[in-house]
Chain A
Amino acid sequence: MLLRAGDAGVLFAGTGLVITLALYAWSGDRGDTAIIRSAGQIVETASLTHVQRFAINGPLGTTQVEIEPGRARVARDPSPRQLCVKQGWLTQSGQAALCLPNQVSVEIRGRTTAYDTLGY
């Protein structure tokens, strides 16, 4: 009676955990750089390694961009519909958040880029 019913369950759950972790950590292309643009010009290029905050000035006011290990987001923006803020955290290469009225954008870049260029 070496392997009991619960043991098999624990091993099964453990295998599931390992697979979930592998899918989470290795799937897709997790970006490593955030490119912040203002009025089409690159104003900051930040690597997603440590916590950073940027305040970017645009025509409407100040857009705050927050960088954390492995992800980036627009934390605050003066635009009326808050679309880029509602997008939340960006992690994958190629994802972008646009704050159109304030002309600020955050784009994530990884080792490979999904598109050569994106037009808005």
Chain B
Amino acid sequence: MTHSVIELPVHADDRRIARLAALAIGLTLAEAALPSPVPGIKPGLANIVVLLVLLQYGWRAAAWVSGLRVLASGLLLGSLFAPGFWLSAAGAVTSLGVLALARHLPSHYFGPISLSVLAAFGHIGGQLALAGAWLLPGIALIKLMPVFAAAALVFGAVNGVIVARFLVSSGLEKTIQQKT
């Protein structure tokens, strides 16, 4: 009988991503308890974590945290592979795509608020595109678009301010500026 042991080495990076993803998942769960007038309009607090990870550890880490958040919150909320899960995934993918481009903007002019607002628009854009193509083809979504966009603008700006303040208060801003 062969006796083989498969060992997956766990690096410090993996642990860090797991820790940050857990934080993002916690925020998503807390947010799911909040009542919302229109389904789909949420503050997106987990994006604060994703944005901080992006600024501190780069895009790959942010993509991991975002992906793990979508998957794990789908498991925990019982919506795994349900329409809500796919909408969430579409939003996360689009917003990561937007961030991949937006993080190359000159940081002297474009701070976390820009990134957060753009990511929020990406999020809602991806969700609406999938919903329009798959779930609700028709005119109903067009009428709701301004509401979603306004929510993205407000919550994106608020989350961006939170990220910016966190960076200043934790002293991370200087280390990030040195890196870039």
Taking Cβ atoms with an 8 Å cutoff, the residues of A that contact B are 1-7, 9-11, 14-15, 17-18, 21-22, 24-26, 30, 32, 48-50, 69-70
Contact = CB atoms under 8 A, between A and B. Distances in A.
Contacts of A49: 138-139
Contact of B114 (A7, A18, A48, A70): A7
Contact of A3 (B106, B111, B143): B111
A11 B121 CA distance: 11
Nearest to A1: B111
Interface stretch (B60-68, B71-79, B84-92, B149-157): B149-157
B111 A17 contact: no
A6 B146 contact: no
Interface residues of B, number: 30
Interface of B: 105-106, 108-111, 113-114, 117-118, 121, 137-139, 142-146, 149-150, 152-153, 156-157, 160-161, 164-165, 168
B113 A3 contact: yes
A14 B150 CA distance: 8
B17 to A, nearest CB: 28
A2 B137 contact: no
Contacts of B108: 4
Contacts, number: 82
Nearest to B120: A14
Which 3 residue pairs spanning A and B have beta carbons closest together?
Answer: A6-B109, A6-B110, A22-B146
Contacts of A50: 137-138
Nearest to B143: A25
Given A6-B109, A17-B153, A25-B144, 14 more contacts: A2-B113, A2-B161, A4-B111, A4-B114, A5-B109, A7-B111, A7-B114, A7-B117, A9-B114, A10-B113, A11-B157, A17-B121, A49-B138, A50-B137
